[in-house]
Amino acid sequence: MKIANKQRNSSHYQNLTPLPIEDTSMFPSWNEHPILFEECYVKDRQIFEAQELKKSKILMSDLIERNAKEPHLIILVHGFQGNSEDLRILRNNLLAIYPSSIFLSSNCNEAESDTNIEEQGRKLANEVINYIENYFELDEIKRVSFIGHSLGGVIIRASLPYLEQLKDKFYTYMTLSSPHLGYLYSPKFLVSAGMWVLKKWK
């Protein structure tokens, strides 16, 4: 507290350029600003960096070994009017962390993401089962995870009842901006016209 008050009362701090804010009522007064402190003491930076590098190499090797022993299938599902490449950046980043994981970028609903969600879920389940049967033995896959963007998260939920045989392998279910509580639909002409343009554009 004493250090924070000393920092607030310093001429340097009080002469800082004010932040560009539009609603000052939402911003605290100067004597209430949060002060963040970060201190790092390193006796020998070269030794410290070498130790950190060694730690990261050990952690990564352990991670690779664990993933190799427990094959992990991660299914990526795109959103409305999307395609299998929409989540490629996420897939590439996950590959860097989990290099032994297996990725399935779903494409079964690319041309029909505006159709019945239950039917899309059934098609996704069939795609997953066919993928496993074509490339693996069922017992080889130890974990199955799902990542869905937008409508893809809802489609994953619709697919789960058709994946009963994999339920003991389910590991992670993650959705990004998915409308789990539904979405507001307006019958206005502007909305209808926008949906028509999206369908034609795809």
Q: Where are the domains of the chain?
A: 53-201
pLDDT at residue 124 in the model: 97
Between CA 185 and CA 187 the distance in angstroms is 7
Whether residue 115 is predicted with pLDDT greater than 80 in this model: the reply is yes
- Kindly give, in sequence order, each residue whose CB lies less than 8 Å from that of residue 119, ignoring residues fewer than 6 positions away: none
Residues 68-99 have pLDDT tens digits of 567 899 999 999 888 999 999 999 999 888 88
Whether residue 193 is predicted with pLDDT greater than 60 in this model: the reply is yes
Percentage, residues of the chain above pLDDT 90? 37
Query: pTM of the prediction?
Result: 0.60
Between CA 178 and CA 79 the distance in angstroms is 9
Give the chain as a 3 state SS string: CHHHHHHHHCHHHHCCCCCCCCCHHHCCCHHHCCCCCCCCCCCCHHHHHHHHHHHHHHHHHHHHHHHHHCCEEEEEECCCCCCCCCCHHHHHHHHHHCCCCEEEECCCCCCCCCCCHHHHHHHHHHHHHHHHHHHCCHHHCCEEEEEEECHHHHHHHHHHHHCHHHHHHEEEEEEECCCCCCCCCCCCHHHHHHHHHHHHHC
Which whole number is the average pLDDT over 40-60?
58
Strand partners, 74: 103, 145
- Among 9-13, 42-46, 165-169, which is the least confidently predicted range? 42-46
pLDDT at residue 156 in the model: 96
pLDDT at residue 78 in the model: 95
Q: How confident is the model at residue 138 (pLDDT cuts 50, 70, 90)?
A: confident
CATH code 3.40.50.1820 for 53-201 = yes
Q: How confident is the model at residue 52 (pLDDT cuts 50, 70, 90)?
A: low
Q: How confident is the model at residue 157 (pLDDT cuts 50, 70, 90)?
A: very high
Q: How confident is the model at residue 161 (pLDDT cuts 50, 70, 90)?
A: very high
pLDDT at residue 30 in the model: 58
pLDDT at residue 131 in the model: 93
Which whole number is the average pLDDT over 114-120?
89
- Angle between helix 117-135 and 151-159 (nearest 10): 70
Contact yes or no for 78/91 (Cβ under 8 A): no
Q: Is the dihedral of CA 148, 152, 153, 156 positive or negative?
A: negative
pLDDT at residue 163 in the model: 96
